[in-house]
Amino acid sequence: MSDLKVLIVCLGNICRSPMGEAVLRDVAKKRGLDIFVDSCGTAAYHAGEEPDGRTISTCAQHDISIEHSARQIQTSDFTQFTHILAADDSNLRNLERVKPKNATAEVCLWGSYLDNKPIADPYYGGINGFERVYQQCLSLSNAFLDQVANDKKT
Ligand code: 4NP
């Protein structure tokens, strides 16, 4: 196991971040990297729920296995994880607000590893938005691992 521990964060933890978690884990595995990946939300509205059906079907179309129970960010995440990656600026601001003084994780926009673009919330839109989220998660997973995991092969 490498020492990378990555937490992907969105609002509800049922659409974007569980997909990001599943895609990053898959991309890392295909690179021969054994990293720990989890996801959570800044809000608790959906705590305990499985991912949105549109996230599950989009992952299935791309042969990505996904299994997650939604949870909210907690203080200990800031010391348990090495990287906390926010889907958009609003969630990044929420993370900064609850970040404890002793935080050791790097907390940033996931898009900062590529193009500084947010992953737009697909919840109120159609299935196409979920395919866009998937493509972004794939590009961002590669960009992230290109920058942080080059010397962490197991
Ligand atoms: P997520 O999407 O943050 O990508 O999981 C959302 C899920 C639920 C809600 C908003 C966004 N909601 O308002 O309940």
Ligand 1 within 6 A of CB of 86: no
Say which residues have a Cβ less than 8 Å from residue 124's Cβ, sequence separation at least 6.
none
Is residue 16 among the annotated active site residues? yes
d(CA 50, CA 69) in angstroms, rounded, equals: 5
Q: What is the pLDDT of residues 73-86, one digit of tens each?
A: 999 999 999 999 99
pTM score of the predicted model: 0.96
d(CA 37, CA 108) in angstroms, rounded, equals: 16
Ligand 1 centroid distance, CA of 95 (Å): 16
Question: What is the rounded average pLDDT for all residues in the chain?
Answer: 96
Q: Average pLDDT, stretch 117-145?
A: 97
Q: Letter for the amino acid at 51?
A: P
What is the token pair recorded at 135?
A: 């493509």
